[in-house]
Chains A and B, each alone.
Chain A
Amino acid sequence: MGVNLRGVTKAWGKPILRGLDLDIGTGEIFALLGPSGCGKTTALRIVAGLETPDAGEVRIEDELVAGPGVNVPTEARRLGMVFQSYAVWPHMTVRENVAWALRLRGIADADRLASEALGRVRLVGFDDRFPGTLSGGQQQRVAIARALACRPRVLLLDEPLSNLDAGLREELRDQVAVLAREAGLTVLLVTHDQEEALSMCDRVAVIADGMVQQCAAPKEIYLRPKTRFVAGFVGILNTLPATRRDGAVTSPALAAPLPSPGPDGPVEIGFRPEAARFAEGGAPCAVSRAVYRGSFTRFHVRADNRDLIVDGHGTAGGAALRVDDAWVMAD
């Protein structure tokens, strides 16, 4: 089902992937999120067949496409892919770009279907233009139409929106998610933009050093990160000291004790800037700086000898801090 990676390793001089395991369900929109050089693009290219793994197995819809003695060539894997650099063939017209891809799959009536596919990404009237005359956003729409038109078994997105302006990025992100859901496509997205991963996907795998750090739904990744790295990579991380006794963690800042199994003793809690507020009876704190950011105000706060960031809606801070939602740091 979907895409399965088992113990996939790859090295170029130094190890890139060290035994990567992933299970992506059919129809799921799944993100590989990580800093540049973490191996996420290599993993995607291995699924595409553009690289061969040194060891391990890759299955697409239960078909073994890469493994010991097996390497199904890229063109036979029936995938769709959108590249960071658009990769729209500059010597073909916009329609030809989509139609050729359809013809390669042996689909009849390619020209009409290509025009339809372009219509779905809201590119009307561009059919006979050459890509060189299109803006970056328009070119990426062509690439998306091309990838979607062939009804691929898996849609691979390699940092598809990184080259676009912020506004356009958000618009296109939503469109791709909607189109993929309508078509019931399995999507594998590679990105270093946590907002993109969290907003588009059903599940996110955070990758570092060629291994999965955590694989979960966006909300869990954001609010219950398993490691300090994941917590810091997907958002702003605040930490405060706390104490665990009899399976519950308490701290002056915590509004309610956190159930947490484990030995008694000092622990650390983590929380997001928007999970804290200024309230009487919390942990004593001092606001060092308040920066007005439009829809909220960002307070730089000092509490328990730590620098914290609190996002709130007032313009003035307070002398005590309350944390409504937190997790216990594992390391």
Chain B
Amino acid sequence: MTRAAVLALVGALLVVFVGLPLGVLALGVDDLGLALAEVEALGNTVLLAAGTALVACLTGIPVGWVAARRQLPRLLEAAIVLPYAVPPYVTTIAWILLANPTNGVLTRFFPINAYTLTGMVGVLGLHLSPVVAMATRDALGRIDPSLEEAARVAGATPLQVIRRVSLPLALPGIGAAISFVASAAAASFGVPYLLGAAASPPVPVLTLRIYRALELSPVEGRPLAIGLSLVLLVVGVALPAAFRLLQGSRAYATARVARARTLPPAGAAQAVVWAWLALAVVLPIGTIALTSVAPVFGRFDGFTLEHWAAVLGEPRSRGALLRSAWLAAAAATVAVAVGSLLAHAAERTPSRAVSALVGLARAPWAVPGSVLALGMILAFSQEVRVIVLERATFAFALADTAWLLGIAYVVKSLALPLDGVRAAVRTVDRSLEEAARVSGAGWAATQWNVVLPMLRPAILAGWALVFASSFCEVSMSVLLRGPSTEVLGTRLFELLSYGSPQQAAVVAMVVVGAVLVGARFIAAPRRAAGGA
């Protein structure tokens, strides 16, 4: 098959599986009144987004600052991503154990309650703070040190330097991270599901209302769900975009010969990072780990493996675990293949058609999972029969199958390998390919022997990212899974709500394990790229 044919096929698939769901959703809007009446959910979503952004800034900016200006131990530097790598519903389980009003371990000492909007903001804020921390670190790292030194020589105190030079220069980078955090908070499902729905009084948010509308009545609930989706899109996507526009995207050209910064040893400053990691990772995951092996729920003495044995021996949990694993692996493989193809095409043979396809492939990443899932339901709930020559009948019935879940995973995270590989392709000088061609290698041989080896780190990282996000996925899964296609995230929720919280802790530990393995994959190529 020629390259063009492959691209055309990918394009057709993208139109069907991305264009169709989003298009059906957009065309399906007919009564916004219902959705706009959900003032409480809308207000809570805005508060959740704003509060989460605030918490992420208050914790992430100091951490990023220390990481940019002090020589942190290697392992600590690598650990900054961890709170973001662990899915928020995992830490939520720990906070439920620690801060529930009836028997929370911490509630005895502090007046805290996880089942509140504040609780949701805290959990999501800590979860998303690495995004702000890493953006801060990178933005500060890009500043030519002599810009700050010039201010010092001119008579500015260290504080004035921060306020008038460092922060303004870093702000465009940090601002982008803040708007991402706000969108992610507005789109989050797991944390509001676990904390908001069970709160008294309940704290509804838009994602939760979409889920409830469809859960109560899969058909009659649709108009409301569609309307809510539109409102959520505006809150979660349009508002941050407007914020970015307002802020302006002035990228400051810095000198080409920026001197490398010699960082002083971390010293006491690393306590900031340690304290933050303790709160965001060590405490919650430690709680879950202890819970998963505690004989009596809520007490942390003694040791038993009975919950582990129960989960791994019980067919439903084990089935969900395996299904999530192979679905995530398949989704990652397909996403990486499609993403790399588009990335290469976009960089090497740009055209209007290719950039339209790239736009289509990147769009779902910005769309909240609940909204995308709704689009999938609307587009593929009906059976499509294609009758060829009155003989063979092909039936496409995707609803409630694992196929639809897999497709949703691919569609949702296509942007990750696409952007990663595209950035890598950009760094591979075209002359390297041309040299291979001139030396007598064909197109395929050039790709295989020259291009692919150089893109391998980016491809691996893309695969790991898609795998991790699909393996832990929950906001689409709760809507798209059928009765027989339970996945890890939905099983975890069920165990937590109706079964054993201790078995839920076991499942959560499995998720954490997968995340830690994945984080190694993701961290490794970044180091290689940094050393080049």
The chain A residues found within 8 Å of chain B, CB to CB, are 12, 48-50, 73-81, 83-91, 100-101, 104-105, 132, 143, 146, 150, 156, 163
Contacts and interface: CB of A to CB of B under 8 A. Distances in A.
A146 B149 CA distance: 14
B165 interface: yes
Closest 8 A-B residue pairs measured CB to CB?
A85-B255, A104-B155, A90-B252, A87-B150, A87-B146, A101-B154, A74-B152, A83-B146
B418 interface: no
A101 B257 contact: no
Contact of B157 (A75, A78, A81): A75
Contact of A81 (B150, B169, B259): B150
Contacts of A74: 149, 152-153
Contacts of B257: 84-85, 163
B26 interface: no
Contacts of B164: 100
Contacts of B252: 90-91, 132
Contacts of B149: 48, 50, 74, 81, 83, 87
A22 B149 CA distance: 23
A90 B169 contact: yes
A86 B255 contact: yes
Contact of B150 (A12, A105, A143): A143
B266 interface: no
B363 interface: no
Given A81-B149, A90-B253, 8 more contacts: A50-B152, A75-B153, A84-B257, A85-B255, A87-B144, A87-B147, A87-B149, A89-B165
A89 B151 contact: yes
Interface of B: 144, 146-147, 149-157, 160, 164-165, 168-169, 250, 252-255, 257-259, 262
Contacts of B255: 85-87, 163
Nearest to B150: A87
Contact of B155 (A48, A75, A91): A75
Contact of B259 (A85, A104, A132, A146): A85
A132 B250 CA distance: 10
A73 B160 CA distance: 14
Interface centre among B153, B168, B257 (most CB of A within 10 A): B153
Given A100-B154, A150-B155, A91 B146 contact: no
Nearest to A77: B153
B160 A104 contact: yes
Given A87-B147, A91-B252, A132-B253, A101 B152 contact: no
A126 to B, nearest CB: 16
A73 B161 CA distance: 13
Given A90-B252, A104-B156, A83 B150 contact: yes
B256 to A, nearest CB: 8
